Amino acid sequence: MNEIRIDKFLADRTKYSRSEVKSFLKKGAVRADGAVINDPKQKINPDAQEITLNGKKIHGGAHIYLILNKPEGYLCATEDREHKTVLELVPDELRHKDMFPAGRLDIDSTGFVLVTDDGELAHQMLSPKHHVPKYYLVTLARPFEENYLQSLADGITLSDGTKCLPVQAKQISEKICLVCLHEGKYHQVKRMFASLGNHVEHLHRTAVGSLLLPPDLPFGGHLEIFHKDILQMLKAESFSVMCEQIMSAFSSYLINDRR
Active site residues: 106
Q: Which residues pair with 94 in a beta bridge?
A: none
Find, among 178, 168, 111, the residue nearest to 144 by Cα. Answer: 178
CB atoms within 10 A of CB 59: 18
Residue type, 143: P
**DSSP per residue, 39-61:** -TT-EE-TTTS-EEETTEEPP-S
Angle 227-234/119-126 helices, nearest 10 degrees? Answer: 10
What is the distance between the alpha carbons of residues 220 and 111, in angstroms, rounded to a whole number?
9
51: which residues sit within 8 A by CB, 6+ positions away?
A: 6, 9, 10, 30, 31, 32, 44, 57, 58, 60
With beta carbons less than 8 A apart as the criterion, state whether 230 and 120 touch: no
Give which of 96, 109, 167 is closest to 133, Cα–Cα: 167
In degrees rounded to 5, what are phi and psi of residue 171? -75, 135
Nearest Cα neighbor of 139 from 253, 14, 9 is: 253
CA–CA dist 151, 138 (Å, integer): 16
